[in-house]
A and B are shown apart, each in its own frame.
Chain A
Amino acid sequence: MGDVFVIAEHRQGELRDVTWEMMTLANEVAPQAGGQVVTVLLGSGLDDFANKLSGVSDKVLCVDDPLLENFSGEKHQKVLSALLDEHKPLITMIPHTAEGVDYAPALAVEKGFPYLTELVALKVEGGKPVAERQYYQGKVNAEFSFKDADSYLFTIREAAFEPMEPSKQGSVEKVDSPLKEDVEYRKFVDYVEAEVGDVDITQSEILVGIGRGIREDKNMPDMEELANAIGADMCGSRAAVDAGWLPHDRQVGTSGKSVKPKLYLALGISGAFQHVAGIKGAKTIVAINKDPNAPIFAEADYAIVDDLFKVVPKLTEKLKEEKGA
């Protein structure tokens, strides 16, 4: 009999989507494990969150402590370590996010539990977890089982599960904070919001999205000409922004923006989930990519498997003609 712990994530006064997504998975897995869904909330001033989460949990454990007001991987680790010792859940789910990856690996080392990251599927069979994750940015899936243990630690991919709607009436239990003092060697200073650029791509009707497949600076004019021909704004994947082809405010995906254009043209974008998570709101998606197995094609309405440098100039020419006609 094992409970499933879910470490809820919240930031700047909001519960993050990944929390509700993990609740969906936890509520599937807990009956297989013969246990309860126990949501763990760390922070300061948590009553509202606790009430909301009781609707998707059997129990909410609430560690309300002014020392936890701002996130710190080290403090999360200390608190969770004590809670795991006391409650001994079979499975602990941590979001695979900038916060989650800042404490999950350290917690895994400290506790010595079997540990696997960024799961896209999880079930429990005969008391043992079987998990799936991906390699090569979504191009290969891997199924894992685990050596026998009393407790397992997993991080869960963002946007991989539908968010859960409230359907339960769990209890809320306040827990004394195991933190005795602040962590001095790493201190939160401030949040700095992302810069706002000239174009708000979240409002764009048509977007030309570019990725690593653009390869070099000298290929950018062809892409820009296509965008100009159809009145589109340019945006791109993390790789395109890192390469300096686009400013950061044009980045689409988990570390950038979520967009909802009528038309999204994905050029040389393989479709790693971090990017795809940001284009779920697009009405029509066109993808051009050389790799026939590129995950972006799973999202596309129209697809071309080919060299984009051969297709795009001709496409621009034809669109100019047709629109002019």
Chain B
Amino acid sequence: MKTFVCIKYVPDTSEAEIKVDETGQAVDSSRFSFDINDADNYAVEESVQIKEKQEGTVTVVSMGPQESDVMIRMALAKGGDNAMRIEDSRINTTDPLCVAKVLAGALKDKEFDLIMTGCMASDDGHMSTGVALAEELGVPHASMVKDVEVVDEKKVKVSRELEGGLMEVVEMELPAVLTIQTGINEPRYAPIRGIRQAQKKELNVLSLDDLGISPDEVGESASQIVLNKLYVPEVVSAAEFIEGEPEEKAEKLASILVKGGHV
């Protein structure tokens, strides 16, 4: 099984306060820590597990800055064989269709059985790149995949997670693109030995010129969406905010809950 797994370097904003910068077009990311997108981490694990059962290779693909090499090396340490990082400031990364076109340009001449990627990026959340990539490459796809069973070298059976936890089981012919949902497996920690080996694995850095992709196809002029502005929505809260030191807050809340008959 020849697998390509596409991963994205994203800021961890789950507990961070976010500010829009003075351009109104971007957020101030200087204080964020970055790491692999959550769903992509599960995709890496799934690709490595399939390799362990079926043999084959896993190629890690990412579009991003040099700093993301740390993340790529970590995916290699977990079992990836080689990697390519695409970096070109001319790519319009706001538009998932442009991103998909770049990935398609990088993968179209490669031999593959499976391409996997996370079903959603935690930063922009379009849930579109994987399915758009499949369309660009002219291969079948399944999104929101929560289970993969390799039937034979030309077929997989996958479960798609629908709303309410309902699973839709489908059979797919290979090659195909699968977008992987979180929770499909338990992502491993990279073993020390793997981390050492990863330093020696091939990591190709490629520009649009290297890939033979015209900036006109994937740049600003190619996109049909125009970002007017970003803003932090006001959280309109009717809540009673309990103030004080942590202990006081706890005491006040306990009293509210008991006196109000809530507990």
Contacts and interface: CB of A to CB of B under 8 A. Distances in A.
Interface of A: 11, 16, 71-74, 96-99, 101-106, 108-110, 113-118, 130, 134-147, 149, 158, 184-195, 206, 212-213, 230-231, 238-239, 241-242, 244, 248-249, 251, 254-257, 262-263, 270, 284, 286-287, 289-295, 297-298, 300-307, 310-312, 314-315, 317-319, 321-323
Contacts of A73: 131, 141-143
Contacts of B262: 206, 262-263, 284
Interface residues on B, range: 35 or more
A223 to B, nearest CB: 14
Given A118-B125, A135-B230, A254-B163, A303 B13 contact: no
B33 interface: no
B163 A189 contact: no
Given A97-B163, A109-B135, A146-B226, A135 B124 contact: yes
Interface string B211-239: 00000000000011111111111011111
Contacts of A312: 250
Interface stretch (B53-61, B82-90, B164-172, B200-208): B164-172
B182 A105 contact: no
Given A140-B233, A293-B17, A301-B239, 5 more contacts: A118-B125, A144-B225, A194-B165, A293-B235, A314-B247
B246 A302 contact: no
B250 A303 contact: no
- Tell me what chain A mostly uses at the interface: helix, strand, loop, or mixed: mixed
B14 interface: yes
A-B interface, 4 closest residue pairs, ranked by CB to CB distance from nearest: A194-B165, A318-B254, A314-B250, A114-B224
Interface string B1-41: 00000000001011111101000000100000000001000
Given A137-B125, A141-B233, A301 B240 contact: yes
Given A98-B162, A136-B13, A303-B239, A104 B142 contact: no
A315 B225 contact: no
Contacts of B65: none
Nearest to A147: B224
A144 to B, nearest CB: 5
Contacts of A186: 140, 142, 170-173
Contacts of B144: 98, 101-102
Contacts of B182: 238-239, 242
A302 B20 contact: no
B69 interface: no
A72 B140 CA distance: 11
Given A116-B225, A185-B172, A255-B164, A319 B263 contact: yes
B131 A287 contact: no
A12 to B, nearest CB: 8
A251 B250 contact: no
Given A139-B232, A140-B20, A102 B125 contact: no
Contacts of B126: 105, 117-118
A81 to B, nearest CB: 11
A321 B257 CA distance: 13
B251 A242 contact: no
A106 B131 contact: yes
A31 B155 CA distance: 48
Given A74-B140, A242-B182, A307-B246, A109 B100 contact: yes
B132 A142 contact: no
Contacts of B168: 71, 98, 188, 191
Contacts of B251: 314, 318
Given A140-B18, A194-B164, A105 B249 contact: no
Contacts of B143: 73, 98, 101-102
Contacts of B117: none
